[in-house]
A and B are shown apart, each in its own frame.
Chain A
Amino acid sequence: KAGVTQTPRYLIKTRGQQVTLSCSPISGHRSVSWYQQTPGQGLQFLFEYFSETQRNKGNFPGRFSGRQFSNSRSEMNVSTLELGDSALYLCASSEGTGVKEQYFGPGTRLTVT
């Protein structure tokens, strides 16, 4: 099976712009979780989608949003980018039931200037 893929891998944006990141989970997986990773804050949970519904949500402002499509692919959007949004954004897929064994993608490195 193909692994989790994320596009794009690298992104440079200007403060105030918006960005959309994409994640394709492992075939058959219905859950996709998003994390923000920064050197100072570690792994911060953004949200999880399961069967097109948001199942869990972290403590991020409303500028961060996501969605999941019927084929389980997920996107996350960040509007009005701030310098502090510079981070590695990781998505992880899992079956969604049973043990929450997550498989991570390589991440999207977002730099906000």
Chain B
Amino acid sequence: AQSVTQLDSHVSVSEGTPVLLRCNYSSSYSPSLFWYVQHPNKGLQLLLKYTSAATLVKGINGFEAEFKKSETSFHLTKPSAHMSDAAEYFCGATKTSYDKVIFGPGTSLSVIP
């Protein structure tokens, strides 16, 4: 069965320093992978997606993620954190458009001024 793990429930960084949010998936195939961000009392917003094209994916707001099949990972990074990046981040995976998206438990990102 497919599963998604987000290794850190909470990450805290200083403004202007790099962000790394970790995501690992477990499946017998190469899934489509997604990162979403959720600000307080809002719905989820798609940051970026991987769909078996380029392994390094660039998203909105300066975020990017790299798909590493050998490590079954899809970690989210940003070179320099901004206060507005403070939010909850969810990693998701799905086999095809006909299957449900499996989400990880989420990582709460705090940005310290």
Size of the chain B interface, CB-CB below 8 angstroms: 23
Q: Is the CB of A104 within 8 A of B99?
A: no
- Judge if B11 is at the interface, Cβ distance under 8 Å: no
Q: Is the CB of A33 within 8 A of B100?
A: yes
- Judge if B70 is at the interface, Cβ distance under 8 Å: no
Give the nearest-CB partner of A56 in chain B.
Answer: B100
In the bound complex, CA of A101 to CA of B103 (Å): 13
Size of the chain A interface, CB-CB below 8 angstroms: 26
- Judge if B45 is at the interface, Cβ distance under 8 Å: yes
The contact of B94 among A55, A58, A100, A107, by CB within 8 Å, is A100
- The residues of B with any CB-CB pair to A shorter than 8 Å are 32, 34, 36, 42-46, 49, 51, 90, 94, 96-106
- The residues of A with any CB-CB pair to B shorter than 8 Å are 4, 31, 33, 42-43, 45, 48, 55-56, 58, 90, 92, 94-107
